[in-house]
């Protein structure tokens, strides 16, 4: 047992040290003498950046959490026409990368977009383009809300399905009203689950590059990019990244505290829910709301992409498409598998050890997930150059570097899934197995691993979906002649040819949706 | 336990195995910020004609340059191609460029368009556009005319993060000095129709939509809009009137051989190929850019906007005023 603990401990700490080594480069800047330009950034840029980032992150995470939680609550507690289909479809917006959604909606609402041109040309209405203006902040919040709410939907749905039953029956016996149950029972009960989803959304928004760049929102990732690229001041860029990381660590620590089990123990026996059948106006209202949410988050973007694919089909280069697709799939698979392996090691360590080192290790995995990919890319290059001074390695950007960078970047996401899966499984099966004479490792592989399969698969799929759409790391670290679907989308979009980016975008969405579909089937099976 | 080690070992080997092999065929490694389909087709054609294999990494110009700088000790890139002269000085200061054989260039191009270790491949003008079906006789003749109070709430331009705007202001600083450039930027902000949003095409569309009257954009995008897959964009391009202001800001797309290049002769050959007549014709006809050769006429679309007088700036120095430009944008709150 002790051997196993140290095995997992050592292998986790090796990784953690590696991550820390990569990120100290950024933290070290906080204590170094600032560059000349820092004064300028501090005076004219920093406060805007902090305000905008906070506004964007808090509002989008809040709105997305609200939609996600309410949708989960309704699907869990009530029964209505189409409940099963809705409860399934609500996962799918996760397949749409936020930056692609931002391209689509900006373009659609624009003067040449389908909406205005339809009103103008087909209906001959006098359309005032001013009706369709919006600030980039509004668009950013909108895009993140509609693409990321499934995170909270997933976490809170699973949680409520499991634990709400017991309380709900009692509340109903006591004749509590609908809203009262929602407010006094479901919401407090699901808070840890909501906050887990909220954190994922917040991290996703904080590290986003595509949306804020495209919409030109002065947030951390744009400021970091600008200091580094436009001002050529890598030092200040790292300093900004370090400040961002402090935000992130604070957020993670808050989540850690909130997640602590409450003093009232969870009921051991899980009672299944009897759903309340909605009828009449209530049923219609619920269905209308769901249709609306799905229309905006799924149907409209996909339809628009299909329409654009139709017109741009002849104008895109097809010769490299097959290779691009293979690259995308290979890279995403390799990275996801690697992340799962490392995550399993670290999760075992935190399971076996309650030391502060273990807790810290688990938090550190999330660092990469929360800072912009372009910063991770730079740090990875630094790291490889540093390593080269000790042993000879190839520092030319290769798939090794890209793979390493992507692992650093998304380890946290995979880890969170494995860890929560392990917490659900607990130690009891492993202990029982060890009582029967197997050692920890054998017990883990024979007993825990099969139980963890859904979490492993979910982790795999979520990481895969993130890697497949990843931009800055892939752009910065990819080797020669290496294109992925995402780089192709980006290339068309940065040349202001959004319509041509439709086909690769659609393929990314389809692959992600297929994977999600599998995960959803697992999740639904498990939830029930 | 054992299995875990084996899995880890396999993973390591797979990752290491992905490193590309090096071989001895004639090849040229290109870092390019010209991510256009036209360019890719051209590189494929070069490969077919010369038998030199072209390896390509695409990205944004400054990112690629940053990368070349990091790889300096053990450089892999042979040719660097980008859009915008503003990073020539960074490349030169960091000693990233190898000398070119420029001996033949003066025969067909202006000597402003090449230096010891760089050469322009195309040019684009940053002009003022308006809806010619709505505004019949525009009175604007200079960039400064836009500051007139009568245009309050009428100007459309993209954000300060756009490298095109940074280059425009950096060039203005070089020509007129920091003070005048600041006044110009501040005056523009005062007359904005809205907080800058969207890309160059969006500015043109908004001008046609009537959200503002005058928009600043690159000619390149008018060209690509006029052949867009989207019929609505083609319609917008057809309505655009183009004003070449006095001292029109013309930026270049340029190429260079990277210091430490292991295939310098192939690199030179590729650059010369891009400067040749057929390629220059393709650039202007298919990609809406201005050719750099005196003996290649611009496309009919470009010629239809009339002639203009380009600003006379030193491209090698453009980068030195760039940081000042970014600072001014921040100071006047040009988002």
Most B CBs within 10 Å, among A495, A503, A504, to test the B interface: A495
CB contact under 8 Å between A499 and B230, yes or no, is: yes
Residue whose tokens read 């836009």:
B146
CB contact under 8 Å between A487 and B202, yes or no, is: no
CB contact under 8 Å between B74 and A135, yes or no, is: no
pLDDT (0 to 100) of residue B24: 67
Q: Mean pLDDT, chain B, as a whole number?
A: 90
Q: What is the 3-state secondary structure (H, E, C) of A424-460?
A: HHCCHHHHHHHHCCCCHHHHHHHHHHHHHHHHHHHHH
The number of beta carbons lying within 10 Å of the beta carbon of residue A337 is 18
Q: How far apart, in whole angstroms, are the C-alpha atoms of residue A157 and residue B117?
A: 62
User: What crossing angle do the helices spanning A449-469 and A502-527 adopt, rounded to 10°?
Assistant: 160
Helix (H) or strand (E) holding B83: strand B79-83
**Lowest mean pLDDT across A138-152, A397-411, B167-181, B289-303:** A397-411
Q: Give me the residues paired with residue B128 across strands.
A: B216, B243
Q: How far apart, in whole angstroms, are the C-alpha atoms of residue A409 and residue A331?
A: 14
Of A381, A369, A97, nearest in space to A244 by CA = A369
Helix (H) or strand (E) holding A200: helix A187-207
**What are the pLDDT digits (tens) for B115-158?**
999 999 999 999 999 999 999 989 999 999 999 999 999 999 99
pLDDT (0 to 100) of residue B21: 46
Band (B28; pLDDT cuts 50, 70, 90): very high
A387 touches chain B (CB under 8 A): no
- Tell me which residue in B1, B15, B58 faces A491 most closely, judged by beta carbons: B58
A367 touches chain B (CB under 8 A): no
Which residues in chain A have Cβ-Cβ distances shorter than 8 Å to B4?
Answer: 341, 345, 441
- Tell me which residue in B4, B158, B211 faces A133 most closely, judged by beta carbons: B211
What are the extents of the domains in chain A?
A: 2-117+129-262+315-527
Which residues in chain B have Cβ-Cβ distances shorter than 8 Å to A374?
Answer: 63
Closest chain A CA to residue B220: A495
pLDDT (0 to 100) of residue A388: 76
Q: Show contacts of A407-410: CB within 8 Å, 24+ apart.
A: A407/A335, A407/A338, A407/A339, A407/A342, A408/A19, A408/A22, A408/A368, A408/A376, A408/A380, A409/A368, A409/A369, A409/A373, A409/A376, A409/A470, A409/A473, A410/A335, A410/A339, A410/A368, A410/A369, A410/A463, A410/A466, A410/A467
Which residues in chain B have Cβ-Cβ distances shorter than 8 Å to A333?
Answer: none
Give me the interface pTM, i.e. the ipTM. 0.78
**pLDDT surpassing 80 at residue B320:** yes
**What tokens does B240 get?**
């655009």
Q: What is the dihedral of CA A111, A226, A489, A411, to 10 degrees?
A: -130
A317 touches chain B (CB under 8 A): yes
**What tokens does A141 get?**
């919040």
Q: How far apart, in whole angstroms, are the C-alpha atoms of residue A493 and residue A495?
A: 5
- Of residues B321 and A37, more confidently modeled: B321
A229 touches chain B (CB under 8 A): yes
Pairing of strands B97-98, B79-83: unpaired
**What tokens does B156 get?**
């459309």
The CATH architecture of the domain made up of B26-122+251-299 is 3-Layer(aba) Sandwich (3.40)
Cβ-based neighbours of A280, under 8 Å, separated by 6 or more:
none
**Chain B: nearest CA to A132, how far in angstroms?**
11
CA angle centred on B225, ends B223 and B231, rounded to 5°: 140
Of A492, A424, A34, nearest in space to A237 by CA = A34
The number of beta carbons lying within 10 Å of the beta carbon of residue A58 is 14
Work out the burial of residue A201: count CB atoms within 10 Å of its CB; fewer than 13 is exposed, 13-18 middle, 19 or more buried.
buried
- Tell me which residue in A129, A230, A381 faces B326 most closely, judged by beta carbons: A230
Q: Is B49 helix (H, G, I), strand (E, B) or coil?
A: helix
CB contact under 8 Å between A308 and B229, yes or no, is: yes
- Of residues B245 and A427, more confidently modeled: B245
A392 touches chain B (CB under 8 A): no
Which residues in chain B have Cβ-Cβ distances shorter than 8 Å to A316?
Answer: 37
Start-end of CATH 3.40.190.10 domains in chain B: 26-122+251-299, 124-249+309-331
CB pairs below 8 Å between A and B: how many? 159
Distances (CA, A) of A250 to A18, A22, A164, A219, A223: 22, 20, 30, 18, 21
**Chain A: nearest CA to B104, how far in angstroms?**
31
pLDDT (0 to 100) of residue A75: 92
- Of residues B75 and A53, more confidently modeled: A53
Of A464, A467, A475, nearest in space to A378 by CA = A475
User: What is the percent of chain B where pLDDT is above 70?
Assistant: 93
**pLDDT surpassing 70 at residue B195:** yes
**What tokens does B315 get?**
């491209």
User: How many Å separate Cα A175 from the centre of its chain?
Assistant: 39
Residue whose tokens read 């634990």:
A163
Residue whose tokens read 């008018």:
B222
Which residues in chain A have Cβ-Cβ distances shorter than 8 Å to B202?
Answer: 106, 110
Q: How far apart, in whole angstroms, are the C-alpha atoms of residue B88 and residue B120?
A: 11
- How does DSSP assign A499-518, residue by residue? GGGHHHHHHHHHHHHHHHHH
- Do residues A267 and A162 lie in contact, with contact meaning Cβ atoms separated by under 8 Å? no
User: What crossing angle do the helices spanning A300-312 and A502-527 adopt, rounded to 10°?
Assistant: 150
- How does DSSP assign A42-80, residue by residue? IIIIHHHHHHHHHHHHHHHHHHHHHHHHHHHHHHHHEE-
Where does B124-249+309-331 sit in CATH, by number? 3.40.190.10
CATH ID of A2-117+129-262+315-527, from 1.10.3720.10, 3.40.50.1220, 1.10.287.3510, 3.40.50.300: 1.10.3720.10
A311 touches chain B (CB under 8 A): yes
Q: How far apart, in whole angstroms, are the C-alpha atoms of residue B206 and residue B193?
A: 10
| Sign for the pseudo-dihedral over CA of A456, A462, A465, A467 | negative
- Do residues B193 and B156 lie in contact, with contact meaning Cβ atoms separated by under 8 Å? yes
Band (B313; pLDDT cuts 50, 70, 90): very high
The number of beta carbons lying within 10 Å of the beta carbon of residue A306 is 12
Band (B8; pLDDT cuts 50, 70, 90): low
pLDDT (0 to 100) of residue A296: 95
> What residues of chain A, 103 to 162, have a C-beta less than 8 Å from chain B?
106, 110-113, 116-117, 129-130, 133, 135-136
Residue whose tokens read 């003070």:
B179
CA angle centred on A494, ends B286 and B189, rounded to 5°: 105
Residue whose tokens read 């750099």:
B292
Most B CBs within 10 Å, among A103, A114, A232, to test the B interface: A232
Which residues in chain A have Cβ-Cβ distances shorter than 8 Å to B163?
Answer: 230
**What tokens does A204 get?**
């996703």
Closest chain B CA to residue A44: B330
pLDDT (0 to 100) of residue B22: 47
Q: Show contacts of B283-289: CB within 8 Å, 24+ apart.
A: B283/B38, B283/B121, B283/B122, B284/B122, B286/B38, B287/B36, B287/B38, B287/B122, B287/B220, B287/B223, B287/B224, B288/B219, B288/B220, B288/B221, B288/B222, B288/B223, B288/B224, B288/B226, B289/B122, B289/B123, B289/B124, B289/B220, B289/B223, B289/B253
Q: Is B101 helix (H, G, I), strand (E, B) or coil?
A: coil
List phi, psi (to 5°) of B100. -100, 155
Residue whose tokens read 């009428």:
B154
Cβ-based neighbours of B221, under 8 Å, separated by 6 or more:
A496, B200, B201, B204, B288
**Positions in chain A short of pLDDT 50:** 263-264
Q: How far apart, in whole angstroms, are the C-alpha atoms of residue A13 and residue A358?
A: 9
Q: Give me the residues paired with residue B127 across strands.
A: B217
Q: What is the 3-state secondary structure (H, E, C) of A268-290?
A: CCCCCCCCEECCHHHHHHHHHHH
Q: How far apart, in whole angstroms, are the C-alpha atoms of residue B105 and residue B115?
A: 10
Residue whose tokens read 């249709």:
A291
| Sign for the pseudo-dihedral over CA of A276, A279, A282, A288 | positive
**What are the pLDDT digits (tens) for A458-513?**
889 889 999 999 988 888 788 888 889 998 998 888 878 888 899 999 999 999 99
């Amino acid at each position: 047992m002790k051997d196993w603990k140290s095995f997992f401990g050592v292998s986790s700490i090796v990784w953690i040290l590696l991550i820390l080594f990569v990120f100290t480069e950024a933290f070290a800047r906080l204590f170094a003498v600032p560059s000349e330009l820092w004064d300028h950034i501090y005076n004219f840029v920093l406060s805007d950046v902090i305000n905008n980032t906070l506004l964007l992150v808090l509002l989008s995470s809040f709105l997305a959490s609200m939609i996600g939680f309410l949708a989960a609550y309704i699907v869990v507690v009530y029964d209505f026409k189409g409940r099963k289909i809705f409860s399934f479809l609500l996962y799918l917006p996760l397949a749409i990368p936020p930056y692609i959604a931002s391209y689509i909606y900006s373009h659609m609402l624009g003067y040449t977009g389908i909406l205005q041109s339809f009103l103008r040309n087909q209906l001959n209405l006098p359309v005032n383009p001013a009706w369709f203006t919006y600030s980039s902040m509004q668009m950013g919040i909108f895009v993140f809300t509609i693409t990321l709410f499934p995170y909270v939907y997933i976490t809170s749905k699973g949680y409520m399905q499991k634990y709400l039953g017991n309380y709900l029956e009692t509340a109903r016996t006591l004749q509590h009203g609908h809203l009262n149950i929602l407010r006094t029972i479901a919401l407090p009960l699901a808070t840890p689950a909501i906050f887990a989803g909220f954190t994922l959304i917040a991290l996703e928004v904080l590290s986003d590059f595509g949306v804020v760049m495209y919409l030109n929102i002065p947030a951390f990732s744009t400021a970091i990019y600008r200091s580094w690229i436009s001002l050529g001041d890598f030092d200040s860029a790292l300093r900004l990244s370090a400040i961002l990381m402090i935000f992130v660590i604070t957020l993670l620590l808050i989540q850690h505290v909130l997640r602590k089990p409450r003093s009232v123990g969870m009921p051991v026996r899980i009672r299944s829910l009897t759903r309340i059948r909605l009828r009449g106006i209530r049923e219609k209202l619920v269905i209308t709301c769901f249709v609306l949410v799905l229309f905006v988050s799924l149907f409209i973007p996909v339809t628009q992409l299909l329409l654009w694919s139709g017109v741009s089909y002849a104008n895109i280069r097809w010769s490299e498409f097959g290779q691009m697709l293979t690259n995308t799939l290979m890279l995403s698979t390799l990275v996801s598998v690697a992340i799962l392996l490392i995550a399993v090691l670290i999760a075992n360590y935190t399971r076996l050890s309650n030391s502060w080192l273990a807790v810290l290790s688990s938090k550190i995995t999330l660092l990469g997930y929360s800072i912009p990919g372009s910063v991770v890319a730079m740090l990875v290059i630094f790291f490889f150059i540093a390593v080269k001074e000790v042993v000879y390695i190839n520092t030319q950007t290769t798939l090794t570097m890209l793979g390493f960078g992507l692992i650093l970047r998304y380890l946290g996401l995979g880890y969170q899934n494995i860890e929560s899966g392990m917490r659900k499984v607990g130690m009891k099966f492993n202990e029982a197995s060890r009582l029967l004479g197997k050692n920890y490792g054998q017990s883990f592989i024979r007993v825990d691993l099969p139980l963890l399969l859904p979490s492993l698969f979910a982790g795999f799929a979520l990481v895969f979906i993130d890697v497949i759409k990843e931009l800055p790391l892939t752009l910065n670290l990819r080797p020669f002649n290496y294109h992925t679907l995402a780089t192709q989308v980006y290339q068309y979009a940065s040349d202001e040819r959004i319509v041509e980016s439709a086909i690769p975008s659609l393929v990314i969405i389809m692959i992600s949706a297929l994977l999600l579909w599998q995960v959803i089937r697992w999740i639904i099976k498990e939830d029930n | 336990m054992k299995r875990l080690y084996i899995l880890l070992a396999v993973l390591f080997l797979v990752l290491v195995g992905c490193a590309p092999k090096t071989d001895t065929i004639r090849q040229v490694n290109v870092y390019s910020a010209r991510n256009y389909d036209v360019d890719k087709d051209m590189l494929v054609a070069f490969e077919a004609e010369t038998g030199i294999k072209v390896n390509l990494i695409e990205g944004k110009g400054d990112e690629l340059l940053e990368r070349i700088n990091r790889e300096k000790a053990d450089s892999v890139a042979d040719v660097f191609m980008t859009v915008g002269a503003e990073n020539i000085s960074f490349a030169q200061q960091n000693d990233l460029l190898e000398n070119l054989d420029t001996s033949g260039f003066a025969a067909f191009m202006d000597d402003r368009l090449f230096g010891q270790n760089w050469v322009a491949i195309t040019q684009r003008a940053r002009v003022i556009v308006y809806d010619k079906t709505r505004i019949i006789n525009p009175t604007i003749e200079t960039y400064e005319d836009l500051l007139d109070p009568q245009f309050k709430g009428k100007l459309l331009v993209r954000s300060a993060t756009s490298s095109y705007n940074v280059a425009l202001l950096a060039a203005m600083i070089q020509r007129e000095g920091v003070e005048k450039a600041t006044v110009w930027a501040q005056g523009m902000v005062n007359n904005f129709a809205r907080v800058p949003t969207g890309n160059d095409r969006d500015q043109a569309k908004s001008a046609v939509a009537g959200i503002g009257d005058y928009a600043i954009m690159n000619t390149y995008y008018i060209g690509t809009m006029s052949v867009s897959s989207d019929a609505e964009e083609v319609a917008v391009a057809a309505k655009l009137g183009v004003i070449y202001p006095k001292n029109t800001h013309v930026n270049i797309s340029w190429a260079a051989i990277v210091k430490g290049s292991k295939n310098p002769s192939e690199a030179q050959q590729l650059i010369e190929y891009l400067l040749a007549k057929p390629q220059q014709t393709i650039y202007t006809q298919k990609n809406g850019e201005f050719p750099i050769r005196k003996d290649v006429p611009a496309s009919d679309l470009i010629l239809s906007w009339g002639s203009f007088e380009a600003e006379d700036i030193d491209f090698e120095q453009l980068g030195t005023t760039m940081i000042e430009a970014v600072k001014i944008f921040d100071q006047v709150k040009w988002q």
